[in-house]
Amino acid sequence: MAILKTANAKGKYYEDHAKEDVIHYILNPFKAKRYVGAYGININCPAESMKLISEHFGKTNGVQLRHFIISFYPNELTDPVIANEIAKQFMLFFASEYQVIYAVHEDKLHIHIHIVINSVSYLDGHRYYGTRAEFKSMQKYMHGVLRKYSIPCLEYASIA
């Protein structure tokens, strides 16, 4: 059973350097060995790309980004190519409104995917707040994606 986690440590995602820190972590080459993707971002300077949008709309305070993780049990998904396809589809859920970057981590016995979105929309500057309705919509979408790969469930866990 796949687990969807939201990382939202108090204070951590509000800091000026949150985008740099989280993106640096998910792109760590010892963890993200082969599969990385992005939408609406210069992959060579992803945090700076996100900052430009936030600055353009005057939204440099508050939550800087949203960080999601989908973890798979060791025998549930062993092929990082499939994890990459799932990550691409997860990214597309947000890409119509937000800058997104993802990485598939292969450094543990279980493959897991990190998705980071800019909390400020590149369309009109509105924020992604992670409301119950937004979360339920994302969760429903991901259930559909995972069913395509015979992964039947998506459990939720929040990590601080």
Question: What is the band of 153 on the pLDDT scale with cuts at 50, 70, 90?
Answer: confident
Q: Torsions phi, psi of 102, nearest 5?
A: -135, 160
Residue 20: which of 107, 116, 95, 105 has the closest Cα? 116
Total tally of structural domains belonging to the chain = 1
Q: What is the pLDDT of residue 8?
A: 75
Question: What is the band of 159 on the pLDDT scale with cuts at 50, 70, 90?
Answer: low
Q: What is the pLDDT of residue 32?
A: 95
Structure tokens at 112: 């897991």
Q: Where are the alpha helices (DSSP H) in the chain?
A: 18-26, 46-56, 80-95, 132-148
Q: What is the pLDDT of residue 97?
A: 97
Q: What is the pLDDT of residue 156?
A: 78
**Residue 41 structural domain:** 2-159
pLDDT at 147 over 80: yes
Q: What is the pLDDT of residue 155?
A: 79
Q: Over the chain, what is the mean pLDDT? A: 92
Question: What is the band of 9 on the pLDDT scale with cuts at 50, 70, 90?
Answer: low
CATH of the domain at 94: 3.30.930.30
The rounded distance, in Å, linking the Cα atoms of 157 and 159 is 7
